[in-house]
Structure 1
Amino acid sequence: MPDQLPYQPPPEDVLEIGAPEQFAALAHPLRQRLLFALGHRPATTSQLAAQLDAKKGNVAHHLKVLREAGLIHIAETRQVRGGTEQYYQRTARHMIVARPQAAGTAAMLTAVAQELDRSPVDPHLTLRHLRLGPAQAKELGETLTRLVDEAEEDPEGQPLHGVLVALYQQASPTGTTSTTGTGDIASDITRTTGPA
């Protein structure tokens, strides 16, 4: 992207999502992808449209929704050819949704699927179902979070990689009270042709 601003961290480290307008803003895949894109550096509407292969007017609309919800802000403005160019940035490095809503989760997973489809290299994607007690599930969740949080980033110029970590308890089939069954037959799915 031309005329990039140097990296500058968002003003907040953590933002807890809880307001209705924030949930509404997160319920669209393009807005999720805009948040992904603004996770490392500020960018203009034109830069984001080019990066996400989206129409500039569409991007501008969704940026407005994100800004009104308090999820992004204008980090800097510059005068260019008689106009003002605005650089948008996330308001927080981490956004925590304590009580996820179905629409936001569906939009995020759709956004991730779109990112996977546009990846220039084959992604590594694994879905696995494990039988875990509450203590084991908690420990696994904390370990996965720590692993991602502690991953060292290479210097500028290296490709960005997305990491999605999800740990959830599967719902029991309706009318079933047994904890055993035959649901483990196809529980592991891995899609990758690149390095693990």
Structure 2
Amino acid sequence: MRDEPSYLPPPEEALEIGAPEQFAALSHPLRQRLLFALGHRPATSSQLAAQLDAKKGNVAHHLKVLREAGLVHIAKTRQVRGGTEQYYQRTARRMVVAEPQAAGTAAMLAAVAQELDRSPVETHLTLRHLHLSPAKARELGETLARLVDEAEEDEAEGGAEDQPLHGVLVALYQQALPSGTTSSV
């Protein structure tokens, strides 16, 4: 982009989500989409509104909620036409939710659904249920995380900034047993 200021990477590599205000902030699909959009580079509320096809006032409100929850910060400001332009950035490259809450998970999945719906190309979405030992499940989770990390490192090393941005959602969970059933594991 022309005339765009340079930025430092997010101040933290990973941020563990645990505070009530963080969970509340994550419980809205637009806030989730804002975090997705800020995943690679800082942006102004106007840029985010255009990118997400949302109203600038809504974006500004949701950025304020994210900022108060410590999930985004102002990375840089600059003077433009008598006003101050604020560039927002995530506070961490990766956000880890150790104990997900239903509202935040539902909002994240709703945000992903919106992103899938808006995708200009065919998407890939698969749900499978596998019988895995705890060791095999742990191994699968580590492998999936490694694959995503490697793809991200390849992107960073290869200067892929001019390539289309792709979203990746990785979930591995143990399916709950029906009430009254006991596990044999």
TM range (shorter): over 0.9
Gap regions ≥5 residues in structure 2 = none
Give the Å deviation of 1:172.
1.2
Measure the CA separation in 2 of the matches of 1:7 and 1:128: 40
| Cα distance change of structure 1 residues 178 and 25 upon mapping to structure 2, 3 Å threshold | closer
Measure the CA separation in 1 of the matches of 2:35 and 2:79: 25
Larger radius of gyration: 1
CA shift digits 1:1-27 (9 cap, x unpaired): 765444641111111111111111001
Measure the CA separation in 2 of the matches of 1:170 and 1:46: 41
Q: Does 1:160 align with 2:142?
A: no
The number of equivalent residue pairs is 179
Q: Which residue of structure 2 lines up, in the alignment, with residue 76 of structure 1? A: 76
Which of the numbers 176, 184, 190 marks the counterpart of 2:181?
Answer: 176
Is the Cα contact below 8 Å between 2:44 and 2:87 reproduced in 1? Answer: yes
What percent identity do the matched residue pairs reach? 84
CA shift digits 1:38-60 (9 cap, x unpaired): 01001000000000000000000
CA shift digits 1:85-136 (9 cap, x unpaired): 0000000001111111010000000000000000010101111100001111
Q: Which residue of structure 2 lines up, in the alignment, with residue 86 of structure 1? A: 86
Task: Name the structure where helix makes up a greater proportion of residues.
Answer: 2
Give the Å deviation of 1:150.
1.2
Superposition TM-score, scaled by structure 1 size: 0.87
Gap regions ≥5 residues in structure 1 = 180-196
User: Aligned letter for 1:123?
Assistant: T
Is the Cα contact below 8 Å between 2:116 and 2:123 reproduced in 1? Answer: yes
